[in-house]
Amino acid sequence: MSASVLACIPRRAARPNDPPIHHPGRRCPARAPPHAATPEACVDVVDSRQVNAPFPVSGDQAHVNENTRIKTLAAATAHAWDAFVIVVGMLKGGTGKTTSAWFIALYYAVVLDLPTLLLDADATSQSAYDWFKVAQAEGFDIPANLVVERYPFDDIAEYIRAKRAEFGAIVVDAGGGSAKLFHEAVTEANLLLVPVAPTKIERRKLVATFDEAERAAARNERDVTAHVVLVKADDRTSLPRNAKDKLLEPEKGEGIGPDRDEPFPLAETVIHSWVHYMEAFGEIPTELSEYAELMKELTA
Ligand SMILES: Nc1ncnc2c1ncn2[C@@H]1O[C@H](COP(=O)(O)OP(=O)(O)OP(=O)(O)O)[C@@H](O)[C@H]1O
Ligand SMILES: [Mg+2]
């Protein structure tokens, strides 16, 4: 295993033929949503107009019967997506994983208009799913393209693989209690987000979290990138500034890499300590502000 499979993978510069950044999946949908990439920019594009068009009745094409048409359509739909998978995890409780997972899922569903799966994989508390049930019970308008499911099991990687073709984005709340489940989820991630509050006790758990993530990334067949996201930051205190310094210039033993002295890959966007986030549980917030900035930064 290389010294740092995760953190050292640079985010490469955009190339002229890259799909637009607002389309995070690797393929285009068979029926492109309004904000998805233009078909020309995508691989394996299936033009639904061709699939659904009546077949010509002359020449060889006349032999194409209704069965073939249905099979073609089914194949096109089955391969419509290869979801962008975001795992939100940190091997500690109460760091802001569920809140982050919900805001990020809403960003993909509402802002990017992608079919989005929010997977609550927290074996201990399952508050992401509770959030959904409460919002439903209280009559909030839940986006039709957002599916929320519980899957707090160790074979989560297999489950994510099975769901990739159905969604444009999959957001996993990996919980904080199971290193095994966290590891398995990271083996299927495109992006790992580790929310951490700017306090000593939270930062201490980062080393163990990144150790586990490195091991999982070595088994991940995609290019997975990882970012620490500072959450619950109160700029009236010195905590966020101190935490940034410690994360970017760690003392020996407090960083990542072979000698544990390399900086953590810290996102520039900071999620502040706002009542808006504290009170968001059980609601469908329409203001995603800092999380929208964060996802724009990390998927650019
Ligand atoms: N940006 C924020 N500012 C202030 N409070 C926040 C913020 N994000 C989360 N919180 C609060 O922090 C607490 C923990 O948040 P959350 O439940 O999202 O964390 P968690 O990591 O999922 O916890 P657990 O490990 O118990 O599942 C909650 O009370 C939540 O409202
Ligand atoms: Mg939680």
- Position 69 scores a pLDDT of 56
Count the residues in the chain.
300
* Centre of ligand 2 from the C-alpha of residue 127, in Å: 5
Ligand 1 contact, 225 CB (< 6 A): no
Report residue 100 as tokens. Answer: 């982050």
Residue nearest to ligand 1 atom 6, measured at CA: 278
Instruction: Give domain status of residue 52, yes or no.
Output: no
Cβ of 278 less than 6 Å from ligand 1: yes
- In this structure, are strands 225-230 and 169-173 parallel, antiparallel, or unpaired? unpaired
Count of domains forming the chain: 1
**Going residue by residue through the chain (300 aa), what tens digit of pLDDT does each one get?**
333 555 433 333 333 333 333 333 333 332 223 233 333 222 222 222 232 332 233 444 444 466 665 555 555 555 589 999 999 999 999 999 999 999 999 999 999 999 999 999 999 999 999 999 999 999 999 999 999 999 999 999 999 999 999 999 999 999 999 999 999 999 999 999 999 999 999 998 999 999 999 999 999 999 999 999 999 999 999 999 999 999 999 999 999 998 899 999 999 999 999 999 999 999 999 999 899 999 999 998
Edge-to-edge order in the sheet of strand 84-88:
146-150, 116-120, 169-173, 84-88, 191-196, 225-230
Find out whether the beta carbon of 178 lies less than 6 Å from any atom of ligand 1: no
Ligand 1 centroid from CA 164, angstroms: 27
What is the domain range of residue 168? 3-28+80-298
- pLDDT value at residue 57: 32
Task: Give me the amino acid identity at 174.
Answer: A
Residue 149 lies in a domain: yes
Please tell me what DSSP assigns to residue 110.
I
Confirm whether 232 is domain-assigned: yes
CATH code where residue 140 lies: 3.40.50.300
What pLDDT score does 236 carry? 97
Looking at the domain assignment, is residue 189 inside a domain?
yes
Please indicate whether residue 240, judged by its CB atom, sits closer than 6 Å to ligand 1: no
In a domain, 155, yes or no: yes
35 belongs to a structural domain: no
Q: What is the predicted pLDDT for the residue at 73?
A: 56
Within a domain: 281? yes
pLDDT recorded at residue 80: 84
